[in-house]
Structures are given as C-alpha cells and as structure tokens.
Structure 1
Amino acid sequence: MEDGAAIWRIARDSEVLDLNSSYSYLLWCRDFAATSVVARDETGEPVAFVTGYLRPDRPRALVVWQVAVDRGHQGSGLAGRLLDALTSRVAEEQGLASVETTITPDNTASDRLFTSYARRHAVALEREVLFGGELFPGETHLPEVLYRIGPFPA
C-alpha cells in the first residue's frame, strides 16, 4: 500500500493517463497487488508500474488498467519488461488465457507496447471499440479500443 502515492504521482506526471483519485491508487495497491507490479530505481523509489485485475466473469483474463513509466526511465523498454513479468507471474500463479486492455486511437505508445507484446509472445491480437466516445460524460472523449491478446497456451 505504501506505493499508492508514488504510482499516483507517476500517473499524474505522465500527462496522458486518465488520473484516478489518490485514494483509488491506495486501494489498488491493497486489493490488486497480485495482478499489478511496480519497478523501483536503485534507491528503492517506484519509477514505473502496471496495474491490472482478473475479470470476475473470466478469471483467466488479465485486464491491464494502467501502464506508466517515470519520464527519467522512459525509452529503456521498462514497460515491456514489466508487462512480461506481470503476465508471467499471473500465468504461473492463477493461469492466463488472455490479456485485455483499452487504448484510445491517439495513444501510439500503448499501441506499440501491446502490439509488440503480442508479437513477442506469438499470440493473436484482436481490436474492437469497447466504449464509444459518446458513452463518456462531459467533455469529448475518444473511443476506448479493446485489445484482446491471446489465447495463451495452457
């Protein structure tokens, strides 16, 4: 739980993620620690994270909620290594049939991350709009495109 404030700051400073309340990051660290991962620098300070959860109706489907890397550590492949480590751990501990995430059409970094992840693991990647922009309240929001990666071998 002690990582909650740090990952909230990393998410905020990314300037591209939808920022959730600081309280939600504390809850995430408590309730979804088994399906999330944090990278630390040489001083032990969190510098990157991947948060996820298992879908209640499909408990072998890992939904990746957010991926963020502190600016000083970007460009080193850290996000891909974290995603690999997390999915490997989930596969070993709970079984993994697929990985899902949503990405807006303008988020080329996330598109590259998940496309290369599917290629690296030699599994299929399907895309379809999950939430149209009109479903979001208030200001305009781009559609959220569902990336479904898998199935992974049993």
Structure 2
Amino acid sequence: MTARPADLLIDRPAVTDGASLWRLAKDSKTLDLNSSYSYLLWCRDFAGTSAVARGADGEPVGFVTGYVRPDRPGTLLVWQVAVDSAHRGLGIAAALLDGLTARLTAERGITRVETTITPGNTASERLFTSFAARHGADLAREVLFPADLFPDGPHDPEVLYRIGPLTPTNAH
C-alpha cells in the first residue's frame, strides 16, 4: 500500500458526502461532471464499491467511485477519481485505489480493475499504470468508446485500461 498523510481516513461515502464529491469532480477541471443528483445516488447505491478520503476535519478531500460489472462480477470498473487540488501529490489517489481494491478483493473476490482514460490525462495514466506495476498485474489498453460515439459535441476517445489478475497477495 502507498504512503498517505497520517490524519487521512479512507472509508465508504455516505449520502451526505454527495455534494462534496460533486464539488471535487467540478473543481478537478478534468472529469466529466455529472449532475449533483447522480453523486447523491452514487453515494447511496454504490457506496460499497466506492471510497472517500477524509481530512482531519472529516470532510472529503478525495474520492474514487466504482461499481462491480454486472456481467463480470470479478471486475471493478472505476468510474471517477478526484483529489482536492490542495491535497494532490500526497499519494491520496493511490491510497484510495489501493484501499478500495483491497476491500473488494476481500469482500467480493474481485480479480480485475477496469477504467477508461482520455488520451492526454497524464495523472490518470500514471495512477493506473503505477497501480498495475505496484500490484504485479498485467495492463492492457484498447479504445472502448471512439470520439464519434459521443452525441454531445467534441469528446476525446475513452481508452479502456484492463488490470489484472489481482490476487489477495498482490491486491494490498
């Protein structure tokens, strides 16, 4: 597991965290911002497959949202990862990802992680590439959604990162 600030707590999000997650996503300037309602629902319905990092005051300073794929129950799809700009560079995103995957490996037996990243999102590329290396897992990439599939204007393609297999010994 990666080092993180000593006063950082990683746990499951609560519905009351929805507004903070929406603000973190909005302030990231890189994530596709979903409606505030969707973050409230996410914190209610997918809290078990997501994680939030809380600072010393208990307020969220980062999050990772994900879900277990219905057609592949051993695969966690990571939807979004965000860390407050004042807390970046401290290993919080890596600690969130490591903590969530360790929990889901133990609780649900996940063996794989997937995410999509737009080309040029260097921070996310580094996060998931280093995650795979840290856990001794294979990493494969392929375009999942080409740019022309997005109906709402210009959008970069979404590249699928497939990481695995994870085992109980390399998921921590």
The TM-score by the shorter chain falls in which range?
Answer: over 0.9
Partners of 1:95 and 1:13 in 2: CA distance: 33
Q: Offset of 1:151 from its aligned partner? A: 1.2
Q: 1:31 aligns with which of 45, 50, 54?
A: 45
The answer on whether the counterparts of 2:51 and 2:63 sit within 8 Å (CA) in structure 1 is: yes
Partners of 2:16 and 2:166 in 1: CA distance: 33
Correspondence for 1:8: 22
Q: 1:72 aligns with which of 69, 75, 86?
A: 86
SS in 2 for 1:61: strand
Give the AA of the match of 2:119: P
Task: Between the two structures, name the one with larger relative contact order (CA 8 Å, sep ≥ 6).
Answer: 2
- Two-structure CA RMSD over aligned residues (Å): 0.7
User: % of aligned pairs identical?
Assistant: 66
State yes or no: 1:47 paired with 2:61: yes
Q: In the comparison of the two structures, how many residue pairs are matched?
A: 154
Q: Offset of 1:153 from its aligned partner? A: 2.7
Correspondence for 1:83: 97
The answer on whether the counterparts of 2:143 and 2:160 sit within 8 Å (CA) in structure 1 is: yes
Give the AA of the match of 1:138: D
**TM-score (structure 1 length as normaliser):** 0.98
Q: Which sections of structure 1, spanning at least 5 residues, go unmatched?
A: none
Partners of 2:109 and 2:151 in 1: CA distance: 36
Q: Offset of 1:106 from its aligned partner? A: 1.2
Partners of 1:42 and 1:9 in 2: CA distance: 19
Q: Which sections of structure 2, spanning at least 5 residues, go unmatched?
A: 1-14
**TM-score (structure 2 length as normaliser):** 0.88
SS in 2 for 1:106: coil
Q: Offset of 1:139 from its aligned partner? A: 1.4
SS in 2 for 1:2: helix
State yes or no: 1:127 paired with 2:128: no
